[in-house]
A and B are shown apart, each in its own frame.
Chain A
C-alpha cells in the first residue's frame, strides 16, 4: 500500500516537475517499462533494492506487482490463459516444470552463456538442478529454502545428548529418551504435523527413492525405499513420540517454549520467528541441525526449495528484464535482500559475509543446502504432494495401516498421472 502511494506521489510530483521543466526541455527520454511479478514478502520488499538498479539503468522502469502466495498459482495460470503474463516473475522452483510444459518460459541457456555474472557453479548444485529441465535452465535461483531440524538443546541434554541426532537410529533413540524423561508422559519428542508434506517426502528422498517410477509415469510410494521411510516416521506416532493430528499444537512457538515437543522439522523463516517469539530465557537453548540420515555414512538430504527468477517467452523486453535478473543475482543485492526479508541467498558468495557467518542458526542451513535434491520435475507434483499429506494423516490416525495407505496413495497418484502416461505414449 505504502509503495503504491509512494509511486503515485512520485508520479504526481514528477508530473509537476515535468510541467515546470517543460519550458526549458522539450521531452523526457523514452523509458522501457518491464513488468515484474513477485510473491508475498518478496513482492513487498524487492522495491527497496531497485534505486541502485534505476541509477545504473535510467532507461529502464521496473513495475512491480505483489501477489499473495495463496493466489499466485491461480493468477499465473489465468494470466497465461489470458495471454497477459508479465515480462519476468518470481516462481517457486517446483512450479517451473508446469510453466515450462505450457511453453511459457524462456530457455535461459544462451542468456547464461552470454552473461558475465551468472554461472551455474555460483549456486548450490541441488538448487540449480530444480531449474533445469532436459538439461536446459529455465530459471535463476533467487533465494533458497530447505527443511531441517530445529531442536531444544536443553531437553536433548537432559536426555543425554549433547548434539542433534545424526542418524535415524539416533533420532529415534533421542525421541524415546525424551519421552521417558520425568514429567514427559503428556509431552512429545517430535512435532510432525500431517498438514506439511515436507518431512514425509524428504525422508523418502533420503532413502534414495525417486518417489515415482518408469519415467515419472507411476507412483512408487509402496516401493521398499519409500515405505521404509514412511514406516519409520509412523513409528513416532505409534509410540506417542509425536502428536497425531494437527490440532494439539495450534502455536508451534508456544509448544516449543513449554517443551510440549523438543524437535521440529521446518524452514529458514522460523529462525527469525523463534528469535522473536520464544521467551528470552530460552534464546540460548534452541539450535538448528542438518537432517539426520538413514545411515551414518549417508548425509541426510533435504528438499531443494526456494524461488527462482524466470523470463516469459512472450515478453518483448527480455534483454532489459535479464539485466534486472543479473542485478538481483549480485552477491551484494542477495545479501541486502537477506537483511530485509531473511530469505537465504542463492548465490554462495553471499554466504561468506559476516551477517550470515555470525548467525549460529544459519550454519546448519549452509551444510544442508549442499545436500538437497529436487522433487520430481513434473507439473502434477504439487497435487501428488497433497495426496502424500492426506495419506500420511490417515496412517497417523490409524485409519489405515501403512501398507494400505501407501497402496491407496499409489492408486491415486497413478490416477493423477494417467494423462501424463497417455501423452508420453508414442502415437
Chain B
C-alpha cells in the first residue's frame, strides 16, 4: 500500500466522486429497492410460511413451516403437470418463434422486397395489440365449427379440430397464437442485427463464388450469434412466464392441459389465497429461469472461446 499524501488525497477524491455517483443514482435505486427488492425478499420469506386465508383474517395464524411448501410442491401432481406444460411451451414455442422471426427478418432485409417499412409495421402490429383483443379474435379463428382454421382444414380434406377444447391441441393452439402475437418484436431485433453485418463480407464471399445458402451459413448465422443469444434468453424468460394466453383463452383447461406455472401460482395465490404456497412456486420458477439463462450464456461463452 502506498501511503503518500498524494495517494491519500486521490483516495478522498474517489470517495467523494463515488458519493456523488450514488447521489445521482439514488432516484433510480431507491424505487428499485422499495418496489422490487423488498417485495421479492418478503415473497421469499412468505414462501417459508403457510400464509393463507386464515392468516388474512388474523396474523396470528401464520406459521413458519420451513421447506414444507417446497416439499409439498414436489409431490403435487398439479405442479408437475404445470411444469410439463410450461416446458412444452418453452421448448416447442421458443425455437419456433425464433425461426419464424429470423425468417421474416431475412425476408424483410432482402433487397428484393419492396415497401419494407410497410411490412415491418404490419408484422409488428400484433406486438402492440392488446392480448385480450387478440385472444377474442383467435377464439373465433379456433372455433370448432365456424372457425377459419377448421374451414382451411376442411379445404385440405382434414377433419375439424376442436382447438381449444381438446387436451392434445390446446397447447399447440396457444403456442401458435403467441408466436403470431410476439414474433414481430424479435423480428425487429434480428433486422437490426442483420443490418449491422458489414456488407463487404458478403461481397468477398460472392467473389469467392459462395452461393446464398453458404453465405447464410458462414456469414449471417455466426455474425448474428450475439443477437440470437440475446433474443433466445429474452424469449425464454418471457416464455417461462406464460400466463395471459391460457388465462384468457382456456383458463388452464381442458383437463389442465394449458395450466402453466404462473397460472398455477395465480390460482393458488389469488383464487385460494394460499400465498405461502404460491410464493414457493414463484421461487421455483425463478430458479429455473436463472438456471436457463446461465446455461445459455455459458454455451455462448464456450462457442466464442472456440
Q: Say whether A245 contacts B144, CB under 8 Å.
A: no
Q: How far in angstroms is the closest Cβ of chain A from B134?
A: 19
Chain B residues whose CB sits within 8 angstroms of the CB of A103 once the complex forms: 57
Partner of B54, one of A246, A251, A393, A419: A419
Which residues from 224 to 247 on chain A have a C-beta closer than 8 Å to any C-beta of chain B?
245-247
Q: Whole-angstrom distance between the alpha carbons of A77 and B251 in the complex?
A: 19
How far, in angstroms, from A246 to B255 measured CA to CA in the complex? 8
Q: Which A-chain residue is minimally distant from B247 (CB atoms)?
A: A70
B253 at the A interface (CB under 8 A): yes
Q: Is residue A74 within 8 Å, beta carbon to beta carbon, of the partner chain?
A: yes
Q: Are B167 and A247 in contact (CB under 8 A)?
A: yes
Which secondary structure characterizes the binding site on chain A?
helix
Q: Does A196 contact B (CB under 8 A)?
A: no
Q: Taking the complex as formed, is A80 at the interface, i.e. its CB lies under 8 A from any CB of chain B?
A: yes
A77, A78, A250, A419: which contacts B144 (Cβ < 8 A)? A250
Q: Find chain A residues with CB under 8 A from B56 CB.
A: 77, 80-81, 102
Partner of B166, one of A73, A77, A98, A247: A247
Q: Across the interface, do B254 and A247 meet the contact criterion of CB distance under 8 Å?
A: yes
Q: Please report which residues of chain B, range 10-67, place their CB below 8 angstroms from some CB of chain A when the two chains form the complex.
A: 50, 52-54, 56-57, 61, 63
B164 to chain A: closest residue by CB: A250
Tell me whether B72 is interfacial, beta carbon within 8 Å. yes
Is B61 within 8 A of A423, CB to CB? yes
- B302: chain A residues at CB < 8 Å are none
Inside 8 A of B253's CB, which chain A residues have their CB? Answer: 195
A195: chain B residues within 8 A (beta carbon) = 253-255
- Residue from the list B54, B72, B78, B271 in contact with A73, Cβ < 8 A: B271
- Can you name the residue of chain B whose Cβ is closest to the Cβ of A383? B272
Residues of B within 8 Å of A78, CB to CB, are 270
Whether a CB of chain B sits under 8 angstroms from the CB of A255 is no
The answer to whether A419 and B50 have CB atoms under 8 Å apart is: yes
Please tell me if the beta carbons of A102 and B53 are within 8 angstroms of each other in the complex: yes
Residue A101 CB within 8 A of the other chain: yes
Q: Which residues of B contact A247 (CB under 8 A)?
A: 162, 165-167, 254-255
Determine the interface band of chain B, counting residues with CB < 8 A from chain A.
Answer: 20 to 34
A245 CA to B57 CA, complexed, in Å: 39
> Which of B54, B162, B251 lies at the interface centre, i.e. has the most chain A CB atoms within 10 A of its CB?
B54
Contact at A101–B54, with CB atoms within 8 Å?
Answer: yes
- For B168, give the chain A residue with the smallest CB separation: A247
Complex Cα spacing A393 to B77, Å: 13
* A247-B165, A419-B50, A423-B54 known; A74+B270 contact, CB < 8 A: yes
Least distance between B120 CB and chain A CB atoms (Å) = 35
Interface residues in B250-290 by Cβ distance below 8 A to A read: 251, 253-255, 270-273
Which A residues are in CB contact (< 8 Å) with B166?
247
Contact status A101-B144, CB under 8 Å: no
Q: Would you call A246 and B53 a contact (CB within 8 A)?
A: no
The complex places the Cα of A261 from the Cα of B167 at a distance, in Å, of 22
B140 CB to nearest chain A CB (Å)? 16
B54 contact set on A, CB distance < 8 A: 101, 379, 419-420, 423
How far does the Cβ of B264 sit from chain A's closest Cβ, in whole Å?
A: 12
A415 at the interface (CB under 8 A from B): yes
4 smallest beta-carbon distances between A and B, as pairs: A74-B270, A102-B57, A250-B165, A250-B162
Known: A98-B53, A415-B72, A419-B52. 6 other contacts (CB 8 A): A70-B251, A74-B270, A101-B54, A195-B253, A250-B162, A382-B272
